[in-house]
Amino acid sequence: MSTPGPAVASVAKPAAAVVGPGGELPIVSSDVSFVEIETLRSREFIPEAKEALSALVKEQAEGKLIRPVFNWAGRNSLFPLHWGLACCAIEFAAAFGARWDAERFGVVPRSSPRQCDLLIVNGTVTWKVAHKLIALYEQMPEPKWVIAMGNCATGGGPFRTAYSVVPGVDKLVPVDVYIAGCPPRPEALLDGILRLEALIRERGA
Amino acid sequence: MNPEDVRTKLAAAGAPGIISIEPFEGVAARVKFDPTAATALFPIVRDALGFPHLSMVGGIDWVERYEVFYLVWSDPAKTYLLLSADLDAKAPHIETASACWPSANWHEREAWELVGIQFDHHPDLRHLLMPDGYQFHPLQRAFKLHEPEDLEVKVRHV
Amino acid sequence: MSEMWINMGPQHPMTHGLWNLRVRIDGERILDVDPEMGYLHRGIEKISEDRHYNEVITLMDRTCYVAGIAWEHLYVQAAEKALGIAPTERSDWIRMMSEEFQRLASHIMWYAAFVQDLGLMSPFLYGMRDRDLILDLFQSYTGGRLTYEYMRVGGVRNDVPEGFTHRAREVLDWLEPRFVEYDRLCMGSDIFRRRCDDLGVLKANDCVRLGVTGPMLRSAGSKRDLRKDRPYSRYSQVEFDVATADSADVTGRYLVRMEEMRQSVRILRQVLDWLDSHPGPVLADHLPRWLGAPYAPIGREAYLLKRNYPKGVGLSAIEEPHGEACAYVVNEGGEHPYRVKFRSPVFANLSAAHHYLVGYHVADIPPIMGSVDVCVGEVDR
């Protein structure tokens, strides 16, 4: 969940840079191979891209920003933070292994929070790590999203009664998608990521 | 190695403060000792009995007393030995084993933090698992777990 | 140059979990280290005091999430001794098989993560591919990939399904040539050798003094392996060799783990042959209802059926994939254990970090710490 005010401001700069100083449209339309690959991934891509491009033309003519294009690009290249908390981190790693290969959805883990827009909380959050988690979240640039992966991050899981465990990461940072399971299978993680993509499409970046 | 062997070797080395030596499943023997004799006993167990590897140090809160136990391993005899001492319930304390077995360092930090046993002359007795300044000893019997309340966490975003 | 402290963690690609390695450096040289643990302390030992004996097994899977079933094995052995229950013979063999499969999965996971730390991506993909085959086997008889809740006090929950041993042999047949492939990728690579040789040296007498066990100890030439030295389960009835190396460095730990995987395959073939020819019950008879119900151990009636066992203390020790793990379970007659205490091998291996890191360079930290195979869940518990 992104706070509305600064989100728009930070969106503006990269989107404007895509358009280029000349004001033409150097966007993907000429890059055929790229479009074909994307078609395999998402059937609704072509009408959506058309819509986005027409909005782009319109907004460009009006001197506005290209929010739909940015939304489309952003949600198809979610960069989660490379951070393993507990058991779910092993399934998180398995999702990037050979069998599930989450990178085909444009999800590439990065090690620095400043390069990320997705925080996957994959494990138990303790009170000792709580302020570090908030610090990492604060360092991520807007727009940013949070997935609570597994029962521990959702509500404390089997360690709910323990003296050292935060009963749910939503007490600390706003969560967009919850994934149930202890731990969730890699398919469930991929489903959660796709649901987050749908959420970004609806809600806007 | 059986309890009789342990008794003979301890007596031969002149080990002080032995209260009892009893059989225990899975280890050579369980040796109960007087905590005030710890400083003298530990090197004897390590060198004369030949137990140079300390596996773990743990504490138990028996409400009316505390117990601290040490599990040590001997490579030539291929067996464990359990040492245990009863400590006073009001102020449980015992001499550190880390001067004899350096690996006791973290185990004792954990036992101090979670069970509340004081290890005298420990080189570095500070919090290991809980944050600095944590006031409680969770593994004491008086510390009860409960369902978390519907808490509201105030996060100050900077 | 002036000295400074830097934090590697709790979010750092090197850590593989939640911990913080504080390093004091002078330029590139490491002067002092101070591991800061506890970011994943979940109070498992305390929660266990509020749980039934069988409910604690759920927590054991989460204690060490790369070797869950080995920790189940550790705990049920201690609980059985505390309660005075003996497992059936077939269940003991199934437990041993599970532990060896877990050792394979854990070592392959280590290989994938460790070599990725050195900057090589393909071993990660190969490793995860092969590990998933083992997890498929686990799934076929326990139902879980990481967290199994499979073992019970007095046996295991269910027998292996029909055709399991055949599938397991197929997986082993697939895995054995893969180890050659792993070796060619790593030991055949000059870059790998240059980054790993003579790094993080910890000699055998230091290992013993500092409580370091497992592949780290065996890479220094020691032959201590609890499966051989203090055979538990049915390890005295199978043939295998203890893998050792003598270089005491990162390469040595790599070689020990690779050889251990080959030996695990050797053990597994013997266990599968035994399972084929010896059918039998997998859960002990005459268990009280709150212990014996295989599928519903957790229920309201379980709490009502008070059945006091004689008091007892159980101690068990196993050679977990990371090293020597011990459990100490105190039974005071109730349905809950009075006190549960675990010895985590990685806990001790990490506490010696000062001795195998100081003097090396900052860039050597990822290979050295990778070779320790840190699993923070079992360190913090």
What percent of chain C lies above the pLDDT cut of 70? 93
> For residues C69 and C318, is the Cβ–Cβ distance under 8 A?
no
Q: Which chains reach chain A with 3 or more Cβ–Cβ distances below 8 angstroms?
A: B, C
Q: Is the separation of the CB atoms in B81 and B51 below 8 Å? A: yes
DSSP string covering B16-33 = --EEEEEEETTEEEEEEE
CA C242 to chain centre: 16
- Give pLDDT tens digits for C161-199: 888 999 999 999 999 999 998 888 888 888 888 888 888
- For residues C203 and B57, what is the distance between their CA atoms, to the nearest angstrom? 24
Chain A residues within 8 A of C340 when measuring between CB atoms: none
Range of the domain at B30: 3-91
pLDDT at C288: 62
**Contact between C253 and C322 (Cβ < 8 Å):** no
Q: Would strands B18-24 and C3-8 be described as parallel, antiparallel, or unpaired? A: unpaired
Chain C residues close to B24, C-beta within 8 Å: 313, 315
* Residue B56 CA, distance from chain mean position: 7
Under a CB-based contact definition with an 8 Å cutoff, are residues C32 and C321 in contact? no
Give the type of residue at C12.
Answer: H
- Tell me A165's DSSP state: B
pLDDT band at C340, cuts 50/70/90?
very high
Q: Quick one: average pLDDT of B49-65?
A: 90
H-helix segments, chain C? 44-48, 56-63, 68-83, 89-117, 122-142, 164-186, 190-196, 204-210, 215-218, 226-229, 250-277, 289-292, 300-304, 345-351, 353-357, 365-372, 376-380
Strands C29-36 and C151-152, sheet pairing: unpaired
**β-bridge mates for residue B87, sequence order:** B66
Question: pLDDT-based confidence at A199, cuts 50/70/90?
Answer: confident
Could you tell me if the ipTM is greater than 0.90? no
Phi–psi pair at B58, nearest 5 degrees: -140, 155
- For residues A70 and A205, is the Cβ–Cβ distance under 8 A? yes
Task: Tell me the per-residue pLDDT of A93-151, one tens digit each, with 9 for 90 and over.
Answer: 899 888 888 888 889 888 888 889 899 999 899 888 888 888 888 888 888 899 999 99
Shortest Cα distance, chain A CAs vs residue B68, angstroms: 23
Provide the 8-state DSSP code for B47: I
Neighbouring CB atoms inside 10 A of A36's CB total 9
What is the sign, positive or negative, of the torsion defined by CA atoms of B124, B130, B133, B138?
A: negative
Is residue B100 included in any domain, yes or no?
no
pLDDT of residue C311: 81
Q: How sure is the predictor about B25, in pLDDT bands with cuts at 50, 70 and 90? A: confident
Q: Which domains does chain A have, with CATH numbers?
A: 4-75 (no CATH), 87-203 (3.40.50.12280)
pLDDT at B155: 63
Percent of chain B past pLDDT 70, that is, above it, reads 94
> What local confidence, expressed as pLDDT, does residue C95 receive?
92
Would you state the pLDDT for residue A30?
34
Residues of B in contact with A163 (CB under 8 A): 136, 138, 143, 145
Q: Is the pLDDT of residue B45 over 50?
A: yes
Report which DSSP code applies to C310.
P
pLDDT of residue B66: 92
pLDDT in tens, C302-316: 443 445 567 888 899
Cα–Cα distance for residue pair B9/B44, rounded to 1 Å? 9
Q: Is residue B151 part of a domain?
A: no
Identify the CATH number of the domain in which residue B68 sits. 3.30.460.80
Q: Supply the DSSP string of C74-128, one letter for each residue.
A: HHHHHHHHHHT----HHHHHHHHHHHHHHHHHHHHHHHHHHHHHTT--HHHHHHH
Residue C35 CB contacts under 8 Å (≥ 6 apart), including other chains: C19, C20, C21, C22, C350, C351, C353
Contacts of C81 (CB under 8 A, 6+ apart): B25, B26, C312, C313, C314, C315, C316, C329
| A185 touching chain C per CB within 8 A | yes
> Which residues of C are less than 8 Å from B73 in CB distance?
324
Q: Where are the beta strands (DSSP E) in chain A?
A: 118-121, 145-149, 177-179
| DSSP annotation string for B72-125 | EEETTTTEEEEEEEEE-SSS-EEE-STTT-TTHHHHHHHHHHHT--EEET-TT-
Return the pLDDT at B156. Answer: 61
CA–CA dist C134, B53 (Å, integer): 34
Q: C22, B7, C380: which is closest to A123 by C-alpha? A: C380
Q: Looking up tokens 């070689």, which residue turns up?
A: C255
pLDDT, tens digit (0-9, with 9 covering 90-100), for C126-151: 999 899 999 999 999 998 888 898 88
Calpha distance B148→A167 (Å, rounded): 7
* Stretch A176-205: mean pLDDT: 86
Per-residue model confidence as pLDDT tens digits over C85-114: 888 889 999 999 999 999 999 999 999 988
B151–A134 CB contact, under 8 Å: no
Residue C379's Cβ-count burial label (10 Å; 0-12, 13-18, 19+) is buried
Count Cα atoms within 13 angstroms, Cβ side, for B146: 6
DSSP state of B45: I
Give Cβ neighbours of residue A101 (< 8 Å, ≥ 6 apart): none
Q: What is the DSSP letter of C247?
A: S
> What does the block give as tokens for C287?
């268990």
Smallest Cβ–Cβ distance between B102 and the set C210, C222, C343 belongs to: C210
Q: How many CB pairs under 8 A join A and B?
A: 32
**pLDDT score for A23:** 38
Cβ atoms of residues C34 and C9 within 8 Å: no
pLDDT for B150: 63
- What is the predicted pLDDT for the residue at A120? 92
- Tell me what percent of the residues of chain C surpass a pLDDT of 90: 36
CA distance A97 to chain C (A): 5
**Mean pLDDT for chain C overall:** 86
Q: Which of B60, B102, B139 sits opposite C209 (nearest CB)?
A: B102
CA of A190 to nearest chain B CA: how many angstroms apart?
30
- Work out the pLDDT band at B72, boundaries 50, 70, 90: very high
d(CA C291, CA C287): 6
Q: Is the pLDDT of residue B100 over 80?
A: yes
**Residues facing C151 on adjacent strands:** C156
Looking at the complex, report in whole angstroms how far the Cα of residue A131 sits from the nearest Cα belonging to chain C: 11
Domain count, chain B: 1
Note whether residue B119 is domain-resident. no
Mean pLDDT across B87-106: 90
The predicted-structure confidence for C235-249, as pLDDT tens digits, reads as follows: 999 999 999 988 888
Residue B157 is assigned to a structural domain of this protein: no
> Does C299 score more than 80 pLDDT?
no
Q: Which residue of B has its CA nearest to C226?
A: B78
Architecture in CATH of C3-380: Orthogonal Bundle (1.10)
Residue type, C126: Y
Helix (H) or strand (E) holding B39: helix B38-43
Give the mean model confidence (pLDDT) for residues B106-125: 90
**What pLDDT score does A35 carry?**
37
Structure confidence by residue, pLDDT tens digits, A6-59? 333 333 333 333 333 333 333 333 333 333 334 444 455 567 677 777 776 676
Residues of chain A found within 8 Å of residue B145, distances taken between Cβ atoms: 161-163
B118 within domain boundaries: no
Nearest CA in chain C to A101: C125
Neighbors of chain B with 3 or more C-beta pairs under 8 Å: A, C
Interface check B153 vs A, CB under 8 A: yes
Structure confidence at residue C298 as a pLDDT band (50, 70, 90): very low
Helix axes A45-62, A67-75, angle to 10 degrees: 140
